[in-house]
Amino acid sequence: MPFTVIYDACVLYPAPLRDLLVRLAQTRLFHARWTDRILDETFRSVQGRRADLSGEQLARTRELMCKAIPDCLVTGYEDLIEGLELPDPDDRHVLAAAIRAGAQTIVTVNLRDFPTSRRSVSLHYTRTCPGIVGKALLGCNKSRALCPVLEGRSRCLYRGTTG
């Protein structure tokens, strides 16, 4: 069984990174998971900064993400939130979801929000940024991990963008 990671909302916000992370998860070298609350936070931020995107478009993206990764939604974590302590109390739901999912890693760019000195007794997790995940996957299986990167890059070039 591959290791399990929780994607924090901050890594799902930028469309190119979200696309890459979903594609990497489709390699099945690891199991990516998130919660409805994480997706709510992600798409609230997108909608707040991208008035050109309709609610229907964002709902479709959300639906496609969930269809792309089997068993991606973590549920039943809410009862753990109150017992957790993090610098930003609003991030406790991410840690609670990681505990419930048995995740080994939280993928986030906000490393300071998940200090290793406050690890939960229930979960021996690491927190890492998306680039480290990509490097680790390349080390595990270069051909399977590289395909999503190249697919995403060729899509950007085809559309005339670089990111």
Q: What is the pLDDT of residue 134?
A: 54
Q: What is the pLDDT of residue 3?
A: 85
28 vs 48: CA distance, rounded Å:
32
68 vs 22: CA distance, rounded Å:
7
Q: Flag whether pLDDT at 152 surpasses 60.
A: no
Report CA-CA distances (Å) from 18 to 24, 62, 79, 93, 147. Answer: 10, 11, 28, 20, 16
* Angle made by CA atoms 39, 153, 137, in degrees to the nearest 5: 70
**Phi/psi of residue 30, nearest 5 degrees:** -155, 170
Q: What is the pLDDT of residue 41?
A: 97
13 vs 11: CA distance, rounded Å:
6
pLDDT digit string, tens, across residues 68-108: 999 999 999 999 999 999 999 999 999 999 999 999 888 88
Three-class SS state of 107: strand
pTM of the model: 0.78
Domains of the chain as residue ranges with CATH: 3-158 (3.40.50)
Angle between helices 55-68 and 36-49 (to 10 degrees): 140
* Angle made by CA atoms 84, 87, 89, in degrees to the nearest 5: 55
Q: What is the pLDDT of residue 111?
A: 80
pLDDT digit string, tens, across residues 23-71: 888 888 889 999 999 999 999 999 999 999 999 999 999 999 999 999 9
**109-132 mean pLDDT:** 63
Query: Residue 58 corresponds to which tokens in the numbers above?
Result: 């964002």
Q: What is the pLDDT of residue 132?
A: 57
Q: What is the pLDDT of residue 135?
A: 52
